[in-house]
A = this chain, B = another copy of it.
Amino acid sequence: MEHANLDFDRQNRTGFPEVIFCEGKPDEFLVDIYKKMYDRDGQVFGTRATEHQYNIVNTILPDASYDKISRILKVAPKDGRSQELIGNIAVVTAGTADIPVAEEAAQTAEYFGSKVTRVFDVGVSGIHRLLANTDALNQANCVVAVAGMEGALASVVGGLVRVPVIAVPTSVGYGANLGGLSALLTMINSCANGISVVNIDNGYGAGYIATQINRLAER
């Protein structure tokens, strides 16, 4: 039984390499996939990794590095290939607790070649903190708005900027937050224009779309 069917054509077809969703992958499968992709591409990028997963991948790929906040487990290219970051994506969070998801978005965008501006902990209960950053947001090609609890941040940002807002609901909160579903509904029903939504805690997806838009803007 062959467990994985690598999509060799993906880079050509979509302009992006394959990325590994580490969560829940059995150890043997994970190590095997990291190994195969590294052999093919000379670099690997995985999301939602645990420290344990970092340890086992590190054993066979000593160049692997792990970021505890974003939970990204990556192997940078051996030969020091470097990339100049282009354009500008603003990543905004409502609270401190939303930072892990925001960092997943930001580091994904950076891995794919985008420059990122971080604006954290500017939730709507103290609206002046967000308004003080209006100019920073307006200089970006795209805004990623990350918020849990009631998720109102996206609507206010949407009313302040000219560019698309990718809204990321997070599971931060308790009680009737329904594991992030309440924030998702808030963002889907936004009265502001220019807002589209990805899955709960899906920082990776937001970083990917923001990069697509950033590339179009900078081409």
| Chain A interface residues (CB < 8 Å from chain B) | 1-5, 7, 9-10, 13-16, 23-25, 29, 94-97, 99, 103, 118, 120-129, 131, 141, 149-152, 155-156, 158-164, 166, 169, 171-202, 205-206, 208-209, 212-213, 216-217, 219
User: Shortest Cβ distance from A42 into chain B, in angstroms?
Assistant: 21
- Verify B159–A188 contact, CB threshold 8 A: no
**6 closest A-B pairs (Cβ-Cβ)?**
A175-B200, A196-B196, A152-B152, A5-B121, A125-B192, A125-B159
- Verify B208–A5 contact, CB threshold 8 A: no
- Verify A3–B120 contact, CB threshold 8 A: yes
In-complex Cβ contact of A164 among B183, B195, B212 (8 A): B212
- Verify A155–B152 contact, CB threshold 8 A: yes
Residues of B within 8 A of A97 (CB): 24-25
User: Shortest Cβ distance from A162 into chain B, in angstroms?
Assistant: 4
